[in-house]
Amino acid sequence: MDLGFLKNNVPDYWLKLHFWDFPGGWLLDNRDAVVEQLNKSDVILIAIDTPSLVFDDKHGNYQLWHEKKNRPHAIADIFMEIDLSKPKLILFVPIKCETWHISTKGSELIADQVRKGYDGLIASLKMYADVTVATTPVQTLGNYLWSYRVSKTVKNKVTLQDKFVPFNVDVNGNAEYSPREIDQPLIYTLSFMAKQVRENLTHNQTKTDDRWENQSWWTTLLKTISGERAEYLQARRKLFTKLSQLEQPMDSLNKKRMDSKKDGFEVIQGRQNLL
């Protein structure tokens, strides 16, 4: 997805978003490719199976389920090989979270369990000031609630089967597929990327301003006569117009939810790196 303006009917992009997805098995089977791509990425989404993250059957299976389905230690190991010296946004994205997300208590539990289930990774990320970390649940099913889980062991291999029940059913007992909050990861992403663009544009403009201010009056006069100063001022106005156009759409988004733990959304670190 490319964002920008049309200049003489030619696209002038200043923000490009490219998405890359890989199977979870690549964490073990194609590690080098994963590390290479994550190093190139400005935003990293970690999909989390919420039932495995949250549910505790009181028989000690929590760590088994969370480790098997979400692989927190494998993910933490991958991050040991990623260059985090540059700005990055890390999003924990709990999915299939409807059962808990329908209440404030359940939503807060999701946020707390993310901190608990990925405590090692979160602790290591705190060393990097330019890394932003947030939790953003997505109701991928919408009108279906997780009910229970059946685990079976066949030849020392544990398989997990989740059962879901319809919610908000119609007269025939059917529920409409209706995912919710699917735009929230994109809101975080746009907020983060827009802030990076804003800071880069402002930094470059400041350097240009300094060059003009440090020139002699004679040089400034000559460049004013030649029209070069007018071009500079026009470029400066265009910059701040672009910044305004950049921030206005973000103001129309529901940014309050970006850091609303009662809804399960939480900025764990780096709030200053978001618009």
Same domain, 56 and 154: yes
188 within a domain of the structure (yes/no)? no
Question: b or e along 167-195 (b: 16 or more beta carbons within 10 Å of the residue's beta carbon)?
Answer: eeeeeeeebeeeebbeebbebbbbbbbbb
Residues 65-112 have pLDDT tens digits of 788 888 899 899 999 999 999 999 999 999 998 888 888 898 899 999
Instruction: Answer positive or negative: Cα dihedral of 229, 232, 238, 241.
Output: negative
| Same domain assignment for residues 42 and 148 | yes
Q: What is the pLDDT of residue 203?
A: 60
pLDDT given for residue 148 in this prediction: 80
Name all contacts of 167-172 with Cβ < 8 Å and 24+ positions apart: 167/98, 167/143, 168/143, 169/143
- Which amino acid is it at 203? H
pTM of the predicted protein model: 0.77
Same domain, residue pair 261 and 224: no
Q: In terms of pLDDT, which residue wins out, 223 or 179?
A: 179
Count of structural domains, the chain: 2
- Looking at the structure, tell me whether residues 160 and 226 fall in a common domain: no
Asked if 91 and 121 sit in the same domain, the reply is yes
**Cα–Cα distance between 205 and 207 in angstroms, integer?**
5
pLDDT confidence band for 240 (50 / 70 / 90): low
Same domain, residue pair 49 and 68? yes
- Tell me the C-alpha distance between 176 and 157, whole Å: 34
Give me the domain span that covers residue 215.
198-249
Please say if the pLDDT value at position 210 is more than 50: yes
Residue 146 has pLDDT above 70, yes or no: yes
For all residues of the chain together, what is the average pLDDT? 78
Residues 113 and 22 in one domain: yes
The answer to whether residues 209 and 160 belong to one domain is no
Mean pLDDT (whole number) for 262-266: 83
In this prediction, residue 44 carries a pLDDT of 95
Q: Per the domain annotation, does 263 fall within a domain?
A: yes
pLDDT band at 194 (very low <50, low <70, confident <90, very high): confident
71 shares a domain with 53? yes
Q: Beta strand 131-135 with 88-95: parallel, antiparallel or unpaired? A: parallel
Residue 21, in any domain of the structure: yes
Same domain? 174 vs 119: yes
| pLDDT value, residue 218 | 47
